[in-house]
């Protein structure tokens, strides 16, 4: 857990030097962020992550040799505490699904502006999953496709969703709208710790493993 006074340590991984350096300069303008390293390929990223122990890794997908998505397991092993955010031009739903399945904390597009990127980094540190708005419909499509191959768990999730309490339904709706725990707590007038407890209950009841899946269920059920 990062203290409020600590800077978030970042590792930037992108094979295009000009983009990488420009991104690093952009991030340096945020007093709460600190770029501790950079890498141009997956192997270098793994070595740097292991040595630098960043809080967040910004990872491009189109890397030479090994793609960013394929490099995720090794990066997670090298620095288990780090949140890994994909920052890529790829809008392919297979890349999105593979990245989230491999443990990415978010999937962002390079069209994101600097202020939104800073917010996304902080949300990832807070434990949220951050997905580019342009990718939301593709996330739903990928989730539905995966569930079609396993109808029994889907039916269980749908049945469980019918058994949610009114408060759990409210929180599921807020998650579907992209709210962080802090934002949900403020909107509903409850403690952030209470929101966290409800989120854990939702994960168990709906038999899913991440907030991303909760958001998809909320959208699929028409809550947002």
CA dihedral 13, 35, 2, 126 (to 10 degrees): -50
Cβ atoms of 73 and 48 within 8 Å: the answer is no
pLDDT at 57: 97
- pLDDT digit string, tens, across residues 179-221: 888 889 999 999 988 998 998 889 888 887 777 778 878 877 8
Domains annotated for the chain, with CATH where assigned, are 8-134 (3.40.50.2300), 150-220 (1.10.10.10)
Cα–Cα distance measured from residue 134 to residue 52, given in angstroms and rounded to the nearest whole number? 32
φ, ψ of residue 179 to 5 degrees: the values are: -75, 140
Per-residue pLDDT of the chain (224 residues; tens, 9 = 90+): 455 468 999 999 999 999 999 999 999 999 999 999 999 999 999 999 999 999 999 999 999 999 999 999 999 999 999 999 999 998 888 888 888 888 899 999 999 999 999 999 999 998 888 888 888 777 766 666 665 555 444 444 444 455 888 999 999 999 888 788 888 999 999 998 899 899 888 988 888 777 777 887 887 788 87
Task: State CA 174 to chain mean position distance.
Answer: 16
* Whether 213 contacts 143, CB under 8 Å: yes
């Amino acid at each position: 857990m990062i203290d409020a006074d600590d800077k978030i340590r970042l590792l930037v991984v992108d094979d295009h030097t000009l983009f990488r350096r420009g991104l690093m300069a952009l991030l340096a303008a945020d007093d709460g962020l600190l770029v501790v390293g950079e890498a141009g390929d997956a192997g270098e990223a793994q070595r740097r992550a292991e040595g630098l122990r960043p809080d967040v890794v910004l990872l491009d997908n189109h890397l030479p040799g090994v793609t960013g998505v394929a490099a995720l397991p090794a990066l997670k092993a090298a620095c288990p505490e780090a949140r890994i955010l994909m920052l890529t031009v790829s809008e392919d739903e297979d890349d999105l699904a593979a990245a989230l399945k491999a443990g990415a904390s978010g999937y962002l597009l390079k069209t994101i502006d600097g202020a939104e990127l800073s917010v996304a980094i902080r949300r990832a540190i807070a434990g949220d999953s951050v997905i580019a708005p342009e990718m939301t419909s593709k996330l739903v499509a990928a989730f539905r496709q995966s569930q079609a191959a396993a109808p029994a768990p889907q039916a269980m999730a749908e049945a469980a969703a019918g058994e949610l309490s009114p408060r759990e339904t409210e929180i599921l709706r807020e998650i579907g709208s992209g709210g962080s725990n802090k934002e949900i707590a403020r909107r509903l007038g409850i403690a952030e710790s209470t929101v966290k407890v409800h989120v854990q209950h939702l994960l168990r009841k709906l038999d899913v493993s991440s907030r991303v899946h909760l958001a998809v269920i909320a959208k699929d059920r028409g809550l947002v």
